[in-house]
Amino acid sequence: MLHEKIQSTIGLIEDVADNRKKDNDNTAIARRNSIFFDNFAKLMPSIISYILAKRYFSFTLKENTSAVLRELMNYSKTTFNNAKAVNPSAFKQKTESFIEAISKEWEAFYKAKNGELINGLNIIVLVHPTPSIVRGCITPLNKCEKWPLTQEGVDSYTEAQGKAQALLKEMRFDDEIQEFLIKVRDKKATLTDITPSILEWIQSEDIADKVSLSIRNTM
């Protein structure tokens, strides 16, 4: 009788231990899944942005960054299929590295593609009769440089880029005038930069009241 009670008690203890192990396993799975989903949510804006950048700007990733993206997508697909994340810490680390890499690659790509256009706008805004029109182009162009992208931002960029190109054609300057305006923009222009041809241009454009002088103390 006593033996049966001992066996029964041992059985209950084993059941409790087994249930506790299952609970611990479920808790561990939930914790790993939580890490995965948190980082998958951080990754998605960059995935959507990459699709937009590729479609509207013909942007492509470097091979090593593209390889990391493939790894992340394969891992995500496997995790969703199995309903269980395995080693999500590695996924977290690769996600962070990928976002950092694609952000830097996009910034370099965007500056190379639009740097000249934005510099041109920053010059003509100094002399355009309605500077707010020029600034209305500069703002969305600058905003689209920031990663991640949005469809709204890309649409604003497309509209602003068309207007910007028209503005630059409308206010095309010769090399001397452009060099002078660059110096003005950078606050490096001096009286010696106002040549007779520059002065004639200032008068013909009726912007003499926009030109101001200052004295720098270089001591």
Asked whether the predicted pLDDT for residue 39 surpasses 50, the reply is yes
The mean pLDDT value of the chain amounts to 87
Q: Give me the pLDDT at residue 30, please.
A: 87
Q: Give me the pLDDT at residue 8, please.
A: 54
Q: Give me the pLDDT at residue 9, please.
A: 46
Asked whether the predicted pLDDT for residue 81 surpasses 50, the reply is yes
Q: What is the pTM of this model?
A: 0.79
> Nearest to residue 43, comparing CAs of 107, 77, 94?
94
Q: What mean pLDDT is predicted for residues 48-65? A: 97
| Phi, psi (degrees; rounded to nearest 5) at 150 | -135, 160
Q: Give me the pLDDT at residue 205, please.
A: 82
Contact, 33 vs 90, CB < 8 A? no
Asked which of 1-5, 126-130, 209-213 is least confident by mean pLDDT, the reply is 1-5
Within 10 Å of residue 98's Cβ, how many Cβ atoms?
Answer: 21
Residue 115 CA to residue 36 CA, distance in Å, equals 38
CA–chain centroid gap for 161, Å, is: 18
Within 10 Å of residue 213's Cβ, how many Cβ atoms?
Answer: 8
Q: Give me the pLDDT at residue 55, please.
A: 97
Q: Give me the pLDDT at residue 97, please.
A: 97
In degrees to the nearest 10, what's the CA dihedral of 33, 34, 38, 41? 50
Q: What is the pLDDT of residues 113-122, one digit of tens each?
A: 999 999 999 9
8 vs 34, higher pLDDT: 34
CA separation, residue 176 to residues 51, 169, 191, 210, 218 (Å): 42, 17, 15, 19, 26
Q: Give me the pLDDT at residue 1, please.
A: 57
**Residue that is written with structure tokens 């479609």 in the block:** 55
Residue 102 CA to residue 108 CA, distance in Å, equals 10
Asked which of 10-19, 185-194, 205-214 is least confident by mean pLDDT, the reply is 10-19
Q: What is the pLDDT of residues 171-206, one digit of tens each?
A: 878 888 888 888 888 888 888 888 999 889 888 888
55 vs 176, higher pLDDT: 55
Question: Percent of the chain beyond pLDDT 70?
Answer: 87
How is residue 161 written in tokens?
A: 């880029």
**What is the pLDDT confidence band of residue 20, given thresholds at 50, 70 and 90?**
low
Q: Give me the pLDDT at residue 132, please.
A: 96
Q: What is the pLDDT of residues 106-141, one digit of tens each?
A: 999 999 999 999 999 999 998 888 999 999 999 999
Indicate the burial class of 50 (C-beta count within 10 angstroms; 0-12, 13-18, 19 or more).
buried
